[in-house]
Amino acid sequence: MNNIIKNSRRIVIKVGTSTLTYPSGKINFRHMGNLCRVITDLQNSGREVTLVTSAAIGVGMGKLGVEKRPQDTSRKQALAAVGQCELMFLYDKLFGEYNQTVAQILLTADVVDSEITRNNVINTFTRLLELGIIPIVNENDTVATAELEGRRIGDNDTLSAIVAKLIGAETLVLMTDIDGLYTANPAEVPNATLIPVVPEITPQIVKLAGKPGSRLGTGGMATKISAARIATAAGIPCCVIQGADPENLYRLFDGESIGTLFLPMREETK
């Protein structure tokens, strides 16, 4: 299976809020710059990379000096609008340092509900990838409120799996603030061990995921399990890896076993 990951050409990488920002919501420029460098390098090696990014609300909070994530949807939407503008400005600037062109795509999870909309999205991705452009995807929080209201269908982990399925990706990578799925919460159980491979997402695996996550984001291991379920059901392996060091992407695509790999479902079990 590591060879399948190593040989993947079309990949989707999802990066979370905790990877892109400090706890204050201020952008972690070092991490973001390193991420852009590594992704450009992967692109230059002959891969087709699509980046799904979180952090619009977190970045908006940092830019406007908001310390506590608001509860009401309209304020979250305003923060997301401010933060998304700042995010894309930075992505364009940082990728531009390596002569890599990027494109913004704002989606909602119901993009698959209409055949016309689905085909339009697929055609856009296809042409961008053919042109060597890296699509940068986020949920359109102005019109999609599921994530903002705390309903799981709206999280970007799920969105990344939907995108991977739409574009026929060969690998989905979820970068997060822990090393992968553990036998217990490592923050509470010191002797918890990393699970390197998950052949099948069973109720026991779902239970291990626990509750969702950070103060600034909406994700957590539970949403990553949900994303892995969508991806693996479509025959796409899903890897959950530590996002603090973007160079973990090199290790993963060099065939090294890191993080947790969710194996794609066999054809007869789909």
Q: Does the annotation place 156 within a ligand binding site?
A: yes
* pLDDT per residue as tens digits for the range 176-199: 988 999 998 888 888 999 999 999
Distance CA 23, CA 205 (A): 28
> What is the structure's pLDDT at 144?
61
Q: Does the annotation place 223 within a ligand binding site?
A: yes
Q: Does the annotation place 176 within a ligand binding site?
A: yes
Q: Does the annotation place 14 within a ligand binding site?
A: yes
Mean pLDDT of 13-19: 91
Q: Does the annotation place 72 within a ligand binding site?
A: no
Mean pLDDT of 168-172: 98
> What is the structure's pLDDT at 216?
37
Q: Does the annotation place 224 within a ligand binding site?
A: yes
> What is the structure's pLDDT at 52?
98
> What is the structure's pLDDT at 159?
93
Band of pLDDT at residue 140, cut at 50, 70 and 90 = confident
Mean pLDDT of 48-77: 89
Q: Does the annotation place 219 within a ligand binding site?
A: yes
Band of pLDDT at residue 148, cut at 50, 70 and 90 = very low
Distance CA 87, CA 179 (A): 25
Question: In the chain, pLDDT over 90 holds for what percent of residues?
Answer: 63
Q: Does the annotation place 220 within a ligand binding site?
A: yes
Fold of 2-269: Carbamate kinase (3.40.1160)
Per-chain mean pLDDT for the chain? 88
Distance CA 243, CA 72 (A): 29
Question: In the chain, pLDDT over 70 holds for what percent of residues?
Answer: 90
Q: Which of 36, 164, 10 is nearest to 102 (CA)?
A: 36
> What is the structure's pLDDT at 224?
93
Distance CA 103, CA 133 (A): 7
Q: Which residue has the tokens 């290790």?
A: 251
Q: Does the annotation place 254 within a ligand binding site?
A: no
- Residues sharing a CB contact under 8 Å with residue 161, sequence separation 6 or more, in sequence order: 172, 226, 227, 228, 229, 230, 231, 236, 238
> What is the structure's pLDDT at 189?
87
> What is the structure's pLDDT at 137?
97
Band of pLDDT at residue 213, cut at 50, 70 and 90 = very low
> What is the structure's pLDDT at 146?
52
Q: Which of 179, 178, 180 is nearest to 228 (CA)?
A: 180
Q: Does the annotation place 193 within a ligand binding site?
A: no
Domain boundaries, the chain: 2-269
Distance CA 148, CA 23 (A): 19
Q: Does the annotation place 108 within a ligand binding site?
A: no
Q: Say which amino acid occupies 127.
A: R
Q: Which residue has the higher pLDDT, 211 or 180?
A: 180
Looking at residue 177, what DSSP letter applies? S
Band of pLDDT at residue 46, cut at 50, 70 and 90 = very high
Band of pLDDT at residue 23, cut at 50, 70 and 90 = confident
Residue 218 has pLDDT above 50, yes or no: no
Residue 1 has pLDDT above 70, yes or no: no
The edge-to-edge listing of strands for the beta sheet with 260-262 is: 102-107, 134-139, 48-53, 10-15, 171-176, 238-242, 260-262, 197-198
Mean pLDDT of 26-32: 89
Question: What is the pTM (predicted TM-score) of this model?
Answer: 0.91
